[in-house]
Structure 1
Amino acid sequence: MSDDLAERRIQRVRDHMALEMEYDWDAVIATFDGHPRYEMATGQLFDGEESVRGYFAGSRSVFPDQGNEIIEIAHAGNTVLVEFWLTGTHLGEIRVGDRAIPPTGRKLKARMAATFEFAPGSDLILCERPYFDQLGMLRSIGIEL
C-alpha cells in the first residue's frame, strides 16, 4: 500500500472527526463510501444514512457541545486507529434501559478509541467502530447506576 493512501485515509478520519464537531452532517456522511455505518461498543448498530443521522441527533441532544480531541492516530492495513478525548456537557436526558436520567450539567472528558475501516485501495470510510467505557462515562458526569 502506498504511503499516499495511508496519508489520505488518516486525513479523511481527521476531517470526519472535525466535521462531527461542526455538526456538518452532510459532509460527515460524504466521508463514507456511500453507506454510513457506526458499530457501537454497546452493541448498537447505526446502518445507513437515516439511522446514522438519528444517532447524530440523539447523541447531540444529550451533549450539545460534544467534541473530540485526537490523542494519537495511526494507519494499519485497511484501518485507521484513533485514540481521543470525547468532551461535552451533559445537558440532555440520557436513557439507560427503561430509566430516564435528567441532565447533570457536568462536563465530560472521556478517553475513547475508534477504528475506521476502509475497503482495499479506497480512502472512503466503510465503518466507524468507537470503543468506550460506558459506566465510566456515566460516573464522570455524576451518574451512578
Structure 2
Amino acid sequence: MTDLAERRLQTVRDHMALECDCDWDAVIATFEHPRYEMYGSGTVFDGEEEVRGYFHASRTPFPDQGNEIIALAHVDNTVLVEFWLTGTHKGPLNMGGRTIEPTGKSFRVRMAATFEFPPGGDKIICERPYYDPTQIAKALDLA
C-alpha cells in the first residue's frame, strides 16, 4: 500500500472518531472542502456552514451518535467504509413533518460510505453515506 493510501485511510479513521467525539472543528479540518452527499435522502450539505448545520441537526435527536468501523478499503481516489451507526434517541427528532419526542431507545444500523479525495491529496472533498433513510426509524420502532 502506498504512503498516500495509508494517509487517506488514517484521515478517514480520524474523521469518523472525531465525529463520535463531536469535535467539529477537527472534523472540518479533515476536509479540503466540507461536503456531504446523503445517498438515501438526496440531501447535500456543501461548505462549512451547511456541514456544521448538518452536525447540529443530526446530533440534536442523537447526541451520543457514534460509528464502529467494520471494514475500510482504498481504491483510486476513494476510501470505502462499512460501519455500524449507533445512537440513542435523547432529543426531539424531526421526521416526516412531525416532531417525535425522545423515546430513550437505541439503534444500531449497518451503513456504508465513500470518502472522495483529490488526486494526490489526503484531505476529504466529499463524504457520501449510503443508507436506507427508514432504517433508524424502524430500529426505534417509529416506522
TM over 0.5: yes
Amino acid at match of 2:77: N
> What's the secondary structure of 2:136's corresponding residue?
helix
State the match for 1:54 in structure 2: 53
Q: Which 10-residue stretch deviates more, 131-140 or 113-122?
A: 131-140
TM-score when normalising by structure 1:
0.94
Runs of 4+ in 1 over 2 A off after TM superposition: none
CA contact (8 A) 2:60 2:93 kept: no
Amino acid at match of 2:36: Y
Q: Which 10-residue stretch deviates more, 94-103 or 122-131?
A: 94-103
Runs of at least 5 residues in structure 2 that lack an aligned partner in the other structure: none
CA distance in 2, matches of 1:116, 1:83: 11
State the match for 2:37 in structure 1: 39
CA distance in 2, matches of 1:107, 1:99: 20
Aligned length: 142
Runs of at least 5 residues in structure 1 that lack an aligned partner in the other structure: none
Amino acid at match of 2:70: I
TM-score when normalising by structure 2:
0.96
CA distance in 1, matches of 2:117, 2:10: 13
CA contact (8 A) 1:32 1:124 kept: yes
1:123-142 aligned at under 5 Å gives the runs 123-142=122-141
Identity across the alignment (%): 65
